[in-house]
Structure formats: structure tokens, C-alpha cells
Amino acid sequence: MTIAKPLQFRMRPMRQADIAAVLKLEQAIFPTPWSKNSYEFEVERNNASDPWVCVVTNATGQVKIAAYVVPWLLVDEVHIANLAVAPEFRRRGLAKRLLLHVLGRAAQKGAQSARLEVRASNPAAQALYASFGFQVVARRTRYYHDNGEDALLMQLNQLDHLGLIQNTPQSAAR
């Protein structure tokens, strides 16, 4: 009997070499995906951006991007611009791990609060954000161009209540 080696997940900063795989995942998940130029800007030129990926290594040693997040540190607020998990890796806590990681990094850099937009039709994402203490503070009518769907603006007013600064180890600088 052969015992399957468990998948190994690891977070690291997004690199230029990741963009093709991130873009492929983005196009498979979102009806209005970001462009290659957008990701190149986030990785190479946007000083407010701190994008991360979660990579998985399978039993044969093949490495694949399982999830990614693009946060922007805007003075004392972090804006979660994009967060996605590949369908085959959902329900494994990857979005939670990435979100906790980037909120912790933002708190260490002085962010006091966090914001994001989420589709009104995405209760799974809304529940994830609510588990961190995000609350719906506004509705952006017809925010999404693909179908005119509303976005819920969610906000977390005090990052420090999560204990992120004390409990998050310092991450490697990008």
C-alpha cells in the first residue's frame, strides 16, 4: 500500500515569473480578469502593492500557484484589491492564510484599517471576511461591469484587534 505524500503549501512574494500562471488562474476564475500589464505593474512598479502567492508542491515535486492576493497599503489603510484561490484548492484555508499574512504585514507597516469590495453574490468570500471582523459599510451599485452586479464595500476598522502585529512573524522583504 502506498501512502500519498500530503500537498505542501508555502507563501512567498509574487514575482515576475509568476505572472503567466497567475493570469491563467485569474482568467479561469473571474469574468473580468486583470490584464498582464496590471500584474506587471503590481509586481514591478506599484510601490503601494505587496502581492503574494501561495504555491503548492505535489508528491512529484511539481510546483503550482494555488492562490494569490494583491493588497495595497494606502497610508494607514490596506485595500485588498484581489484575492483568489484555484478551484481545486478551495476549502483548505489558503485564502484565510493569505489574508491573515497580508493584514499582518500591513499592520506592521502602520495600517490601522482594511477595506475591500466583494460581489454581493459571493457569500463564501463575505463569510471569510466577516470571520476577520470585516463589516459591510456600503453597497456600490452596478460596480461590476460584466453583469452590473453590486459590490459590498467591507471594512475592518481596527487591524490591531486581531493581534496581528504581535502574532505575525516578520516576513522576508520583497
117 as an active site residue: the answer is yes
Quote the pTM value: 0.87
CATH code for the domain defined by 8-167: 3.40.630.30
Is 144 designated active site? no
DSSP structural state of residue 19: H
Of 77, 117, 144, 149, catalytic: 117
63 bridge partner residues: 57
Nearest to 71 by CA among 124, 120, 3, 11: 11
Q: Where are the domains of the chain?
A: 8-167
**55-96 pLDDT, tens digit each:** 998 777 888 999 999 999 999 999 999 999 999 999 999 999
For Cα atoms 78, 46, 35, give the angle at the middle one, nearest 5 degrees: 100
Could you report the per-residue pLDDT of 24-40, keeping only the tens digit for each? Answer: 999 999 988 999 999 99
